[in-house]
């Protein structure tokens, strides 16, 4: 586990990530992924796409990042997408009030769940001060601050719009068309990987909390009455859970359990959420997250999003960031060197909230037609308003009154039992004679019904996953009595597959062979770095620091004699080397990177190179 400062320095030095716009003083909350970071991020996205889009049989879309205001009126983001803001009266700096509590009070891990009034009380109780200037904050109000970036669509005042705060809305608003591609058959899933934007009050921890970030989200549309997830696929997967009741208990602790048992014991209420936790557990382990520093934590009631019936976060523990972290039992402060838990994914049962809201606010239908096994004869309340009577009585509002009568007949047929019926249109009440409404109960034959699907959402933070992988891969050992820093990244995820070196740069024959090896590896689809500058030891160290799993070196020993040309192949973590024929390099590296062979197998097949390198 890396200290945050060490990891940030390595990330900047080796081109993983660094603050954006530094030439103009920098912009808080925005980061640029350098060459190594961009490659690592692409590999994480590709691995996620392979699992959650391809293997699970879902479809992927790419929607715009700017959306008009009505979308967010419907979704609830305009009214409910807030964080707690407190502003220092002395220096004018703004801070996340709940974060100030979490940093200062050892036994509070999620102050967001406490509410504004309680957070204000805690700021006073603990005499918290402005982190920037040290002024007391006890008398300052805590306010809700909406996190969306506002913009204008079109010239002049244009149409109000916002940068999307989550990729999900781009999927929901296109549901009427997406259901056609799925032939109206539930369940089906739609994924999207792309940028989202949140105007964070106080960005911090490098790329962990930023204002522009990449999400990878799956929206699984289901019939809640009929569709069941393939729990058999994950029922034996072991997970570490931190349910809400354990978080609230004085002696609360983690629960080590299988997915199947967690569902059977109602620890995880939704089988669909449980299924995706099981899938995610396997995926995180496959890409290199340390499972000893990984857990699923259930949201407390006060921190759940406005759309979520239940939500669990995947969390990873990362290196010390200068604040204390709460222990599982909540009794004492963990040492700073133990690091902090960060959310890297969320798994929410969103119910029918999103589709219902967009159906109410838009002019489209956000339902699917569910066919019955057999046609059914049902009684339906109907109205056939006499427009010749409604027109003179209500003028331009007559059509709206007729629509209101139809809606009332569906929702409350008993309202037509009296001689008159009252409906409300645009806030104004209108009374209509029941005879004019022509109310009746009719028998109808129906082949099915329109239902609003429910949504289960696994939502992954790509940048936070990248940060976790770097933190968990950060390693140090001693090579030739010098401290070596290396990233023990999984070969599937590492930015570069292999580096190719000529031992020296002043021998044409070595250079020609090295160029040929590099070209052959690139032709095979591998990501290759070629480096001929500096001592071979320094070149190895550079590749170790960016996590390159293998290095091929062309040396004079491999070109001499009557035997076929050979090269050395070095494995990153052990620094061990073997010698193999140059013609075998592509095939063996393909097998290593595909997980079909281990380096230990090659050590048994080929000659080990004796070096002066010692590791400890």
All structural domains of the chain, each given as residue ranges with its CATH number in brackets, are: 4-64+164-349+456-462 (3.30.930.10), 373-448 (3.30.720), 496-608 (3.40.50.800)
Cis bond upstream, residue 187 (ω within 30): yes
Q: Is the pLDDT of residue 363 over 90?
A: no
As a whole number, mean pLDDT of residues 183-212 equals 94
pLDDT value of residue 350: 95
What radius of gyration, in Å, describes the C-alpha atoms of the chain? Answer: 30
DSSP conformation class of 342? E
pLDDT value of residue 310: 86
Tell me how far apart the alpha carbons of residues 533 and 542 are, in angstroms, rounded to a whole number.
Answer: 11
pLDDT value of residue 614: 62
Residue 261: helix, strand or coil by DSSP? helix
Q: How confident is the model at residue 472 (pLDDT cuts 50, 70, 90)?
A: very high
pLDDT value of residue 324: 31
Tell me how far apart the alpha carbons of residues 419 and 253 are, in angstroms, rounded to a whole number.
Answer: 64
The rounded percent of the chain whose pLDDT value lies above 70 is 95
Q: How confident is the model at residue 335 (pLDDT cuts 50, 70, 90)?
A: very low
Tokens of 219: 């929206």
pLDDT value of residue 612: 66
pLDDT value of residue 374: 87
Position with higher pLDDT, 115 vs 73:
73
pLDDT in tens, 215-229: 999 999 999 999 999
The rounded percent of the chain whose pLDDT value lies above 90 is 79
Q: Is the pLDDT of residue 185 over 80?
A: yes
Q: Is the pLDDT of residue 532 over 90?
A: yes
pLDDT in tens, 279-327: 999 999 999 999 999 999 999 887 777 677 789 999 999 985 333 322 3
> For 50-101, what is the HEC assignment?
HHHHHHCCCEECCCCCEEEHHHHHHHCHHHHCEEEEEECCCCCCEEEHHHHH
pLDDT in tens, 103-158: 888 888 778 888 899 999 999 999 999 999 999 999 899 998 899 999 999 987 77
Q: Which of 503, 491, 489 is nearest to 568 (CA)?
A: 503
Question: 151 has which bridge partners?
Answer: 161
The rounded mean pLDDT for the chain is 91
As a whole number, mean pLDDT of residues 162-184 equals 97
As a whole number, mean pLDDT of residues 413-435 equals 92
Q: What is the DSSP string of 495-558?
A: S-SEEEEES-SS-HHHHHHHHHHHHHHHHTT--EEE--SS-HHHHHHHHHHTT--EEEEE-GGG
pLDDT in tens, 232-283: 999 999 999 999 999 999 899 999 999 999 999 999 999 999 999 999 999 9
Q: How confident is the model at residue 204 (pLDDT cuts 50, 70, 90)?
A: confident
Q: How confident is the model at residue 333 (pLDDT cuts 50, 70, 90)?
A: very low
pLDDT value of residue 236: 98
Q: Model pTM? A: 0.85
């Amino acid at each position: 586990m890396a200290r945050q400062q060490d990891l940030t320095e390595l990330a900047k030095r080796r081109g993983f990530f660094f603050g954006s716009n530094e030439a103009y003083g920098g912009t808080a909350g925005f980061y640029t992924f350098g060459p190594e970071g961009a490659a690592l991020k692409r590999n994480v996205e590709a691995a996620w796409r392979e699992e959650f889009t391809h293997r699970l049989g879902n479809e992927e879309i790419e929607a715009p990042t700017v959306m008009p205001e009505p979308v967010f009126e419907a979704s609830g983001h305009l009214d409910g997408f807030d964080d707690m803001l407190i502003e220092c009266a002395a220096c004018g700096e703004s801070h996340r009030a709940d974060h100030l509590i979490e940093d200062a009070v050892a036994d509070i891990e999620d102050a967001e769940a406490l509410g504004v009034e309680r957070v204000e009380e805690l700021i006073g109780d603990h005499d918290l001060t402005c982190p920037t200037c040290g002024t007391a904050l006890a008398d300052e109000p805590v306010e809700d601050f909406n996190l969306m970036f506002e913009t204008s669509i079109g010239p002049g005042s244009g149409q109000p719009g916002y940068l999307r705060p989550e990729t999900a809305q781009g999927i929901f608003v296109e549901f009427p068309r997406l259901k056609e591609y799925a032939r109206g058959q539930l369940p089906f899933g739609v994924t999207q990987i792309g940028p989202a934007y949140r105007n964070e009050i106080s960005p911090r921890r490098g790329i962990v909390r930023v204002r522009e970030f990449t999400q990878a989200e799956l929206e699984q549309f289901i019939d809640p009455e009929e569709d069941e997830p393939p729990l058999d696929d994950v029922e034996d997967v072991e997970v570490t859970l931190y349910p809400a009741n354990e978080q609230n208990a004085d002696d609360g602790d983690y629960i080590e359990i299988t997915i199947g048992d967690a569902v059977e014991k109602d620890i995880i209420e939704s089988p669909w959420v449980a299924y995706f936790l099981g899938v995610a557990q396997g995926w995180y382990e496959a890409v290199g997250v340390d499972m000893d520093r990984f857990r699923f934590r259930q949201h407390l009631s006060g921190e759940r999003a406005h759309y979520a019936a239940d939500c669990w976060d995947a969390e990873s523990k990362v290196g010390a960031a200068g604040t204390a972290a709460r222990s599982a039992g909540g009794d004492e402060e963990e040492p700073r060197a133990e690091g902090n838990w960060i959310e890297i994914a969320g798994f929410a049962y969103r119910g029918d909230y999103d589709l219902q809201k967009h159906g109410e606010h838009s002019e489209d239908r956000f339902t699917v037609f569910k066919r019955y096994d057999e046609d059914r004869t049902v009684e339906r309340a109907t109205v056939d308003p006499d427009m010749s009577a409604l027109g003179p009585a209500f003028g331009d509002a007559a059509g709206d009154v007729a629509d209101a009568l139809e809606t009332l007949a569906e929702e409350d047929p008993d309202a037509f039992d009296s001689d008159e019926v009252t409906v409300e249109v645009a806030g104004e009440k209108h009374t209509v004679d029941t005879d004019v409404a022509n109310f009746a109960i009719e028998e109808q034959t129906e082949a099915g019904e329109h239902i609003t699907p429910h949504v289960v959402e696994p939502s992954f933070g790509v940048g936070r996953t990248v940060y976790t992988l770097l933190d968990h891969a950060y390693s140090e050992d001693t090579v030739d009595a010098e401290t070596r820093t290396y990233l023990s990244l999984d070969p599937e995820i590492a930015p570069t597959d292999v580096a190719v070196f000529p031992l020296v740069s002043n021998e044409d024959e070595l250079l020609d062979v090295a160029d040929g090896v590099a070209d052959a590896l690139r032709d095979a689809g591998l990501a290759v770095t070629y480096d001929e500058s500096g001592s071979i030891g320094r070149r190895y160290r550079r590749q170790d620091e960016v996590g390159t799993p293998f290095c091929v070196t062309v040396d004079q020993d491999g070109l001499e004699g009557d035997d076929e040309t050979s090269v050395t192949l070095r494995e990153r973590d052990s620094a061990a080397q073997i010698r193999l024929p140059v013609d075998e390099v592509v095939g063996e590296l393909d097998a290593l990177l595909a997980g079909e062979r281990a380096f230990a197998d090659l050590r048994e097949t080929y000659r080990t190179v004796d070096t002066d390198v010692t590791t400890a």
